[in-house]
Chains A and B, each alone.
Chain A
Amino acid sequence: GAVVSQHPSWVICKSGTSVKIECRSLDFQATTMFWYRQFPKQSLMLMATSNEGSKATYEQGVEKDKFLINHASLTLSTLTVTSAHPEDSSFYICSARVGTASSDTQYFGPGTRLTVL
Protein backbone atom coordinates (compact mmCIF):
# COMPACT_ATOMS: atom_id res chain seq x y z
CA GLY A 1 0.00 0.00 0.00
CA ALA A 2 0.90 3.67 -0.15
CA VAL A 3 3.51 4.66 2.41
CA VAL A 4 4.09 8.07 3.95
CA SER A 5 7.16 8.74 6.06
CA GLN A 6 7.97 11.56 8.44
CA HIS A 7 11.33 12.73 9.64
CA PRO A 8 12.29 13.09 12.36
CA SER A 9 10.06 10.85 14.43
CA TRP A 10 10.80 12.92 17.49
CA VAL A 11 12.70 16.11 18.20
CA ILE A 12 13.57 18.13 21.28
CA CYS A 13 14.57 21.74 20.83
CA LYS A 14 15.16 24.86 22.84
CA SER A 15 12.65 27.66 22.97
CA GLY A 16 13.23 30.21 20.21
CA THR A 17 14.72 27.80 17.70
CA SER A 18 13.13 26.55 14.48
CA VAL A 19 12.37 22.95 13.66
CA LYS A 20 11.71 21.42 10.25
CA ILE A 21 9.60 18.30 9.81
CA GLU A 22 9.58 16.42 6.52
CA CYS A 23 6.71 14.43 5.07
CA ARG A 24 7.40 12.15 2.12
CA SER A 25 5.21 9.92 0.00
CA LEU A 26 7.51 7.00 -0.74
CA ASP A 27 5.82 5.11 -3.54
CA PHE A 28 3.32 7.54 -5.02
CA GLN A 29 2.93 11.15 -5.98
CA ALA A 30 0.74 13.33 -3.83
CA THR A 31 -0.66 16.53 -5.21
CA THR A 32 -2.15 17.36 -1.85
CA MET A 33 -0.73 16.85 1.61
CA PHE A 34 -2.30 17.78 4.92
CA TRP A 35 -0.71 18.72 8.23
CA TYR A 36 -2.41 17.90 11.50
CA ARG A 37 -1.67 18.51 15.12
CA GLN A 38 -2.68 16.03 17.82
CA PHE A 39 -2.72 16.88 21.49
CA PRO A 40 -2.55 14.10 24.10
CA LYS A 41 -5.76 12.11 24.26
CA GLN A 42 -7.39 14.45 21.77
CA SER A 43 -8.33 14.33 18.15
CA LEU A 44 -6.37 15.45 15.16
CA MET A 45 -6.74 19.09 14.27
CA LEU A 46 -6.14 20.07 10.67
CA MET A 47 -3.59 22.86 10.46
CA ALA A 48 -3.16 23.38 6.74
CA THR A 49 -3.56 21.94 3.27
CA SER A 50 -0.46 21.83 1.14
CA ASN A 51 -0.64 21.71 -2.64
CA GLU A 52 2.40 21.11 -4.78
CA GLY A 53 3.67 24.28 -6.37
CA SER A 54 1.33 26.65 -4.59
CA LYS A 55 0.93 28.32 -1.24
CA ALA A 56 -0.53 26.32 1.60
CA THR A 57 -4.04 27.00 2.82
CA TYR A 58 -4.19 27.43 6.58
CA GLU A 59 -7.12 26.70 8.84
CA GLN A 60 -8.61 29.45 10.92
CA GLY A 61 -6.54 30.20 13.97
CA VAL A 62 -3.31 28.70 12.63
CA GLU A 63 -0.47 31.21 12.33
CA LYS A 64 0.98 30.87 8.85
CA ASP A 65 4.09 32.84 9.77
CA LYS A 66 4.80 30.44 12.60
CA PHE A 67 4.04 27.20 10.81
CA LEU A 68 5.72 27.48 7.42
CA ILE A 69 4.72 24.87 4.90
CA ASN A 70 6.55 24.16 1.67
CA HIS A 71 5.38 21.57 -0.85
CA ALA A 72 8.32 21.62 -3.20
CA SER A 73 7.63 18.41 -5.07
CA LEU A 74 4.98 15.77 -5.55
CA THR A 75 6.61 13.61 -2.90
CA LEU A 76 7.76 16.08 -0.26
CA SER A 77 6.13 18.61 2.01
CA THR A 78 7.86 20.29 4.94
CA LEU A 79 6.51 21.97 8.04
CA THR A 80 8.81 24.42 9.80
CA VAL A 81 7.88 25.53 13.28
CA THR A 82 9.58 28.90 13.63
CA SER A 83 10.66 30.37 16.95
CA ALA A 84 9.22 27.41 18.77
CA HIS A 85 7.84 27.77 22.28
CA PRO A 86 6.75 25.18 24.83
CA GLU A 87 3.10 25.56 23.81
CA ASP A 88 4.08 24.30 20.34
CA SER A 89 4.99 20.95 21.86
CA SER A 90 2.71 18.43 20.24
CA PHE A 91 2.42 15.47 17.90
CA TYR A 92 2.46 16.59 14.25
CA ILE A 93 1.05 14.27 11.61
CA CYS A 94 0.99 14.61 7.86
CA SER A 95 -1.14 12.83 5.32
CA ALA A 96 -1.07 12.56 1.56
CA ARG A 97 -3.99 12.23 -0.77
CA VAL A 98 -3.44 9.93 -3.67
CA GLY A 99 -5.14 9.92 -7.01
CA THR A 100 -7.59 12.34 -8.54
CA ALA A 101 -9.82 14.90 -6.94
CA SER A 102 -12.50 12.24 -6.60
CA SER A 103 -10.32 10.11 -4.37
CA ASP A 104 -11.00 10.50 -0.68
CA THR A 105 -8.24 8.24 0.54
CA GLN A 106 -5.53 9.81 2.63
CA TYR A 107 -2.42 7.99 3.81
CA PHE A 108 -0.92 9.10 7.06
CA GLY A 109 2.63 9.40 8.25
CA PRO A 110 3.64 7.98 11.63
CA GLY A 111 3.86 11.43 13.19
CA THR A 112 6.60 13.59 14.73
CA ARG A 113 6.73 14.27 18.45
CA LEU A 114 8.00 17.82 19.08
CA THR A 115 9.07 18.84 22.56
CA VAL A 116 10.12 22.45 23.11
CA LEU A 117 12.05 23.11 26.29
Chain B
Amino acid sequence: GDSVTQMEGPVTLSEEAFLTINCTYTATGYPSLFWYVQYPGEGLQLLLKATKADDKGSNKGFEATYRKETTSFHLEKGSVQVSDSAVYFCALIRAGGTSYGKLTFGQGTILTVHP
Protein backbone atom coordinates (compact mmCIF):
# COMPACT_ATOMS: atom_id res chain seq x y z
CA GLY B 1 0.00 0.00 0.00
CA ASP B 2 0.84 3.66 -0.06
CA SER B 3 3.17 4.98 2.62
CA VAL B 4 5.01 8.15 3.60
CA THR B 5 8.15 8.26 5.71
CA GLN B 6 9.41 11.40 7.38
CA MET B 7 12.62 12.04 9.21
CA GLU B 8 12.51 11.41 12.91
CA GLY B 9 11.95 14.37 15.15
CA PRO B 10 11.90 16.44 17.10
CA VAL B 11 13.96 19.01 15.26
CA THR B 12 15.28 21.93 17.29
CA LEU B 13 16.81 24.95 15.55
CA SER B 14 17.85 28.46 16.33
CA GLU B 15 16.10 31.34 14.63
CA GLU B 16 17.39 32.03 11.10
CA ALA B 17 18.81 28.52 10.72
CA PHE B 18 18.26 26.46 7.59
CA LEU B 19 15.57 23.80 7.78
CA THR B 20 15.26 20.49 5.96
CA ILE B 21 12.67 17.88 6.80
CA ASN B 22 13.06 14.76 4.68
CA CYS B 23 10.09 12.95 3.23
CA THR B 24 10.02 9.89 0.99
CA TYR B 25 7.03 8.01 -0.30
CA THR B 26 5.87 4.73 -1.76
CA ALA B 27 2.85 4.74 -4.03
CA THR B 28 1.63 3.36 -7.31
CA GLY B 29 1.20 5.72 -10.20
CA TYR B 30 1.74 9.44 -9.88
CA PRO B 31 0.46 10.73 -6.55
CA SER B 32 0.03 14.35 -5.55
CA LEU B 33 2.28 15.35 -2.65
CA PHE B 34 1.57 17.72 0.21
CA TRP B 35 3.04 19.30 3.29
CA TYR B 36 0.61 20.13 6.08
CA VAL B 37 1.44 22.11 9.21
CA GLN B 38 -0.26 21.85 12.60
CA TYR B 39 0.34 24.77 14.93
CA PRO B 40 -0.24 24.22 18.65
CA GLY B 41 -3.95 23.97 19.40
CA GLU B 42 -4.99 24.29 15.76
CA GLY B 43 -6.06 22.03 12.94
CA LEU B 44 -3.88 20.96 10.05
CA GLN B 45 -3.32 23.57 7.39
CA LEU B 46 -2.11 22.97 3.87
CA LEU B 47 1.37 24.47 3.56
CA LEU B 48 2.21 23.57 -0.02
CA LYS B 49 1.64 20.92 -2.65
CA ALA B 50 2.95 19.55 -5.93
CA THR B 51 0.97 17.46 -8.35
CA LYS B 52 3.55 16.18 -10.83
CA ALA B 53 7.22 15.35 -11.12
CA ASP B 54 9.66 18.28 -10.88
CA ASP B 55 6.92 20.61 -9.63
CA LYS B 56 8.02 22.90 -6.81
CA GLY B 57 5.50 23.87 -4.18
CA SER B 58 6.21 26.99 -2.16
CA ASN B 59 4.52 29.06 0.52
CA LYS B 60 5.62 31.32 3.39
CA GLY B 61 9.28 30.77 2.52
CA PHE B 62 8.95 26.99 2.54
CA GLU B 63 9.71 24.96 -0.57
CA ALA B 64 9.53 21.34 -1.64
CA THR B 65 10.25 19.74 -5.01
CA TYR B 66 8.53 16.60 -6.28
CA ARG B 67 11.37 14.21 -7.14
CA LYS B 68 10.01 11.11 -8.79
CA GLU B 69 13.41 9.53 -9.37
CA THR B 70 14.12 9.53 -5.63
CA THR B 71 10.43 9.38 -4.56
CA SER B 72 11.06 12.33 -2.29
CA PHE B 73 9.42 15.62 -1.33
CA HIS B 74 11.79 17.24 1.17
CA LEU B 75 10.66 20.42 2.90
CA GLU B 76 13.14 23.31 3.12
CA LYS B 77 13.24 26.83 4.46
CA GLY B 78 16.23 29.09 4.31
CA SER B 79 15.68 30.97 7.56
CA VAL B 80 13.25 29.71 10.17
CA GLN B 81 11.40 31.86 12.67
CA VAL B 82 10.08 31.12 16.13
CA SER B 83 6.59 31.26 14.64
CA ASP B 84 7.43 28.25 12.44
CA SER B 85 7.41 26.01 15.51
CA ALA B 86 4.78 23.38 14.73
CA VAL B 87 4.28 19.79 13.62
CA TYR B 88 4.86 19.19 9.91
CA PHE B 89 3.22 16.34 8.04
CA CYS B 90 4.15 15.05 4.61
CA ALA B 91 1.26 13.40 2.78
CA LEU B 92 0.19 11.99 -0.55
CA ILE B 93 -2.99 11.35 -2.48
CA ARG B 94 -3.00 8.58 -5.04
CA ALA B 95 -3.84 9.75 -8.50
CA GLY B 96 -6.89 7.58 -9.04
CA GLY B 97 -8.73 4.39 -8.28
CA THR B 98 -10.70 3.63 -5.17
CA SER B 99 -8.25 5.48 -2.97
CA TYR B 100 -8.77 8.77 -4.77
CA GLY B 101 -8.98 11.66 -2.36
CA LYS B 102 -7.61 9.71 0.59
CA LEU B 103 -4.60 11.30 2.20
CA THR B 104 -1.81 9.08 3.46
CA PHE B 105 0.24 10.87 6.11
CA GLY B 106 3.76 10.54 7.37
CA GLN B 107 4.28 10.33 11.11
CA GLY B 108 4.86 14.05 11.54
CA THR B 109 7.96 15.99 12.56
CA ILE B 110 7.94 18.34 15.51
CA LEU B 111 9.90 21.53 14.84
CA THR B 112 10.91 23.85 17.65
CA VAL B 113 12.66 27.12 16.85
CA HIS B 114 14.40 29.00 19.63
CA PRO B 115 15.10 32.75 19.57
Binding site for B on A (CB under 8 A): 4, 6, 32, 34, 41-44, 46, 49, 93, 95, 97, 101, 104-111
Give the 9 A-B residue pairs with the shortest CB-CB distance, closest first.
A108-B44, A110-B43, A108-B43, A43-B107, A43-B105, A44-B105, A104-B32, A104-B93, A109-B43
Minimum Cβ distance to chain A for residue B111 (Å): 14
- Enumerate B58-115 residues with CB–CB distance to A below 8 Å: 89, 93, 100-108
Judge whether B102 and A93 touch: CB under 8 Å. Answer: no
Minimum Cβ distance to chain A for residue B66 (Å): 13
Minimum Cβ distance to chain B for residue A69 (Å): 15
Judge whether A43 and B93 touch: CB under 8 Å. Answer: no
Query: Once the chains are docked, how many angstroms separate the CA of A105 from the CA of B103?
Result: 10
Contacts between chains A and B (CB distance < 8 A), count? 50
Judge whether A104 and B42 touch: CB under 8 Å. Answer: no
Bin the interface of chain B by size.
Answer: 20 to 34
Binding site for A on B (CB under 8 A): 32, 34, 36, 41-46, 49, 51, 89, 93, 100-108
List, in ascending order, chain A residues with CB within 8 A of B49's CB: 104-105
Known contacts A43-B89, A104-B32, A104-B49: A97-B43 contact under CB 8 Å: no
Judge whether A110 and B42 touch: CB under 8 Å. Answer: yes
List, in ascending order, chain B residues with CB within 8 A of A101's CB: 100-101
Closest to B90 in A: A43
Query: Once the chains are docked, how many angstroms separate the CA of A49 from the CA of B89?
Result: 20
Query: Once the chains are docked, how many angstroms separate the CA of A6 from the CA of B49?
Result: 25
List 11 contacting pairs A-B, 8 Å CB cutoff, sorted by A.
Answer: A34-B102, A43-B89, A44-B44, A44-B103, A46-B102, A95-B103, A101-B100, A104-B32, A104-B49, A108-B43, A108-B44
Judge whether B103 and A93 touch: CB under 8 Å. Answer: no
Query: Once the chains are docked, how many angstroms separate the CA of A116 from the CA of B104?
Result: 27
Judge whether B102 and A43 touch: CB under 8 Å. Answer: no
Judge whether A34 and B108 touch: CB under 8 Å. Answer: no
Known contacts A42-B107, A43-B107, A104-B49: A4-B102 contact under CB 8 Å: no
